[in-house]
Amino acid sequence: MKFYMPTKLRSGPDCVARHAEELASLGSDALIVTGRHSARLNHALNDVTDALKKHGKRYTVFDRIEENPSVETVMTARAAGLEAGADFVIGIGGGSPMDAAKAIAVMLKNPEQDWQYLYQSVSAESCPVAAVPTTCGTGSEVTGVAVLTRHDLQTKVSMTHKVFPVLALSDGKYLQYAPQSVIRSTAVDALAHLTESYINTNADELSRMTASNGLSIWAACRQALLHPETLTAEAAQALMDTATLAGISIAQTGTSIPHALSYILTYRGGIPHGAAAGVFLANYIRYADHDMQKAVLSSAGFRDADELQLFLQNLAPVQSDPALLNAAAESVLRNPAKLRLCPYPVDAALMQEIIRI
């Protein structure tokens, strides 16, 4: 067995304020990276800046991280950080700001390098990163992965380097401000992480322990997902914790075919990340061996793959044209590293079954 999760995780109400000193101890000048609106709306940005001010730390806010951040945005944020003299990075938001924060931290530490450095197979240092998640899907607060948009390749590609946040502060109250569509799509992303980690050639007893626990908590949140307008503080924290367990799981195993298929649907079709991965989940499970299917579906509270498919079609519907689906299938079939993570052989014929949505 193997298990690696170097992030110090703090979860629960007011955890940013309660752990302000730990956050402030990461450096003297923070570059806070986030999107334009949500971190202000849900008060996470205010909580973070209050924590830094309380401990006499300087900060600069870069609030131009777009959804599915590009390497160009990473470089613009790096320039802002260098100008301000930033020595640590705090990502606030969903996966986009947290992933961007990791890439920015690499580039900040290596100011002489250009963006191609993110994809070079070298050992790279980075500035310390803290993550404050505000959605319930990515798990980026506990993984080393940063997925960035590569306009030159017309898809999303993970940077080569692994940068685990030093500190993750996860407070469910931020999720209560998120739009219902975001709560649903990101919760489906978490379900995809849990499933793809469980049904994975890299899975072992420890990764399956975190994935199984995450699936059980996810199952308990199903009613809240169907009616997010009634989301309680407890359910919001449970959804955030599920996403974190899912992140810990994929940090051990990686994701598998549904995620690999999703990237082109998101880049070319504009389909939200979670929904784009979730649409292939039921079919991915359907071709796994019986015990794995049973373990995942029963933990997540589903009778069979058909019931899961119906639930996801209702929760995060996806419409995609056949040409896009075929392009996604072809790109994954050309990716032996990704195919190896699936525990059953996938040829062109079976891939056609998996993309039958």
Residues of the shown chain interacting with Fe ion in the complex, contacts defined by CB under 5 A: 189
78 three-state secondary structure = helix
Closest distance to Fe ion from the beta carbon of 142 (Å): 13
Work out the burial of residue 60: count CB atoms within 10 Å of its CB; fewer than 13 is exposed, 13-18 middle, 19 or more buried. Answer: middle
Identify the CA nearest to 216 among candidates 185, 199, 191, 197. 191
Pick between residue 189 and residue 241 the one whose CB is nearest to Fe ion: 189
Rounded to 5 degrees, what are φ and ψ at 88?
A: -155, 165
Beta-strand runs (E) in the chain:
8-11, 29-33, 58-62, 88-93, 129-133, 147-150, 155-158, 167-170
- Kindly state the smallest distance separating residue 276's Cβ from Fe ion, in Å: 9
In order, the DSSP letters of 250-271 are: HHHH---HHHHHHHHHHHHH--
Tokens of 340: 């190896």
Closer to Fe ion by CB, 27 or 97: give it.
Answer: 97
> From CA 198, how far away is CA 222, in angstroms rounded?
20
Number of other CB atoms surrounding residue 330 within 10 Å:
13
CB of 3 to Fe ion, least distance (A): 20
Alpha-carbon distance values, 350 to 241, 340, 344 (Å): 34, 15, 10
Q: Which is nearer to Fe ion, 104 or 281 (by Cβ)?
A: 281
- In the bound state with Fe ion, the residue whose beta carbon lies nearer, of 188 and 292, is 188
| Least distance CB 259 / Fe ion (angstroms) | 6
Closer residue to Fe ion, CB minimum distance, 61 or 192: 192
C-beta of 86 vs 203, nearer to Fe ion: 203
Token representation of residue 326: 């075929």
* Nearer to Fe ion (CB atom), residue 57 or residue 273: 273
Give me 343's structure tokens.
Answer: 């525990």
Distance CA 83, CA 9 (A): 30
By Cβ distance, which residue is nearest to Fe ion?
Answer: 189
> Smallest gap, in angstroms, from Cβ of residue 246 to Fe ion?
8
Min dist CB 189 to Fe ion, Å, is 4
Q: At what angle do helices 180-198 and 233-253 cross, to 10 degrees?
A: 40
At its nearest, how many Å lie between Fe ion and the CB of residue 37? 22
